[in-house]
Amino acid sequence: MPQSKIRLSGVGAADPYIDTEGWEELLSALVGCLSDNNSKVPQGSLKVLAKLVASPHKSPDALRPCFALVWGPLKEKMGDSKLPSREAATDLLLVFMDKLGMSSMMDRLKLCAGHKNWRTREQILVAILLAMQRFRGDPNRLCLDGLVDMADLQSKHIRNTHMRMLLSRFGADDLSSLARGSTAQSSSPPSSSRSLPSSPPKALAPSPSPASGNPPPPPATSFLGAA
């Protein structure tokens, strides 16, 4: 059986194991699946990872070392050409933000301002914006400061249409008004879209690059396949 099919089967059967002993091995195996060429495999892996990280049985201290393992592949999936993959990656990043806090993650996010993939650069901005809809007080301000810093750094590289879309979610006309917090009240609620339309300018185009009642499956890591 092709490795992709083995991994897809394993990902589909992984949910029962997210809170069992040895979940760290499951997490590592799921991260290995993010590079699979069958888009269903990384999409499914991202969704299981989000459930694992969101579990109330996982403390921030237990998850913090895991984020270092997940972050590299995760930011690459934030720039995936397929919308479902970008959205699943954004969902996972938001769960990590909830668990670990914005202050521990903002420096990593800001580094994405120089990422070679234009989709990654923009999707990180979208993720911060979505985080602002969740946080209040100091974390919210930290998100806003980070968003302004990153958008300012990327102003030469983000499509004008998409920049206007980002700013319009706050009722802002430009970065300076967003930084001052002098945004106008919007007549419609902020958008909850987890991505931006995919239409890159040529200069920024990236390089080519179990059913209920069944017995429980064997350990998920045994048939996720080699990473």
pLDDT at 57 exceeding the cut of 80: yes
Most confident stretch, 35-44, 94-103, 141-150: 35-44
**Percent residues over pLDDT 90 in the chain:** 42
pLDDT (mean) for 192-213: 44
State the chain's mean pLDDT as an integer.
75
pLDDT at 171 exceeding the cut of 90: no
What number of other Cβ atoms are within 10 A of residue 86's Cβ? 26
Query: Is the pLDDT higher at 182 or at 160?
Result: 160
Domains of the chain: residue spans and CATH: 1-100 (1.25.10.10), 102-180 (no CATH)
pLDDT (mean) for 9-36: 95
Query: Is the pLDDT higher at 69 or at 177?
Result: 69
Write down the pLDDT at residue 226: 47
pLDDT (mean) for 119-137: 79
Write down the pLDDT at residue 64: 94
Question: Rg (Cα) of the chain, in Å, rounded?
Answer: 19
Structure tokens given for 134: 């969740």
Write down the pLDDT at residue 210: 42
Write down the pLDDT at residue 174: 54
**Percent residues over pLDDT 70 in the chain:** 59
Among 84, 94, 78, smallest CA distance to 38 is for: 84
pLDDT at 60 exceeding the cut of 90: yes
Going by pLDDT thresholds of 50, 70 and 90, the confidence category of residue 190 is: very low
Q: Which long-range contacts (CB under 8 A, 24 or more apart) does 90-94 make?
A: 90/123, 90/126, 90/127, 90/130, 90/194, 90/195, 91/46, 91/47, 91/50, 91/194, 92/46, 92/49, 92/50, 92/53, 93/127, 94/127, 94/130, 94/131, 94/134
Write down the pLDDT at residue 2: 83
Cα–Cα distance measured from residue 167 to residue 98, given in angstroms and rounded to the nearest whole number:
23
Going by pLDDT thresholds of 50, 70 and 90, the confidence category of residue 47 is: very high
